[in-house]
Homo-oligomer: A and B are copies of this chain.
Amino acid sequence: MQDDDALRETFAIFNEIGIVSQLSRAMFEARLPEGAGLPHFSLLNHLIRVEDGRTPLALARAFQVPKNTMTHTISGAVRHGWVELRPHPTDGRSKTVWLTEAGRRFRDDAIAALAPDLAAVIDATDAEGRAVLLERLTELRVFLDGYRDRNGSAS
């Protein structure tokens, strides 16, 4: 009985997460220029925050996404001129991903375009609520990530 309630509650959590994921993605993409998706923005943002010159596989791992998905995202970013690929200096199989000037500009513009929506979310929530939400979400993400490896395949 109590067990059943916990199952229902947990399922409801994943349900809400799915819906929020959908809605927030739509909200962000509505602010990005034509042809730009959230994956592209996330990629550029990561390359600025962390470092240039990563390999596609390292990026795929950072985003918890299969490597073919990263291939697809990068090829789109290349097509738009936001990043460029250069051969890996020591490993002939691999490549490295580098930001272009246009990529930096796109990312800065996108940050500015997204800020009002984020500010609206901040207005509508309280600081402590956000902190605990992020904490619980991270806990859940870490668990699921390990759980997947425990029961299944690698990236």
Contact = CB atoms under 8 A, between A and B. Distances in A.
Contact of A137 (B6, B20, B148): B20
A136 B144 contact: no
Interface string A94-128: 00000000000000000000110111111011010
A9 B144 contact: no
A124 to B, nearest CB: 5
A130 B20 contact: no
Copies in the complex: 2
A136 B68 CA distance: 34
B23 A141 contact: yes
Nearest to A136: B133
B144 A6 contact: no
Given A132-B136, A147-B120, A64 B23 contact: yes
A71 interface: no
Given A10-B118, A21-B21, A16 B127 contact: no
Given A6-B122, A12-B134, A18-B38, 6 more contacts: A7-B122, A9-B134, A14-B20, A17-B137, A125-B140, A136-B136
12 contacts: A6-B130, A17-B17, A18-B24, A18-B25, A21-B21, A23-B141, A24-B144, A30-B152, A121-B143, A121-B144, A124-B147, A133-B140
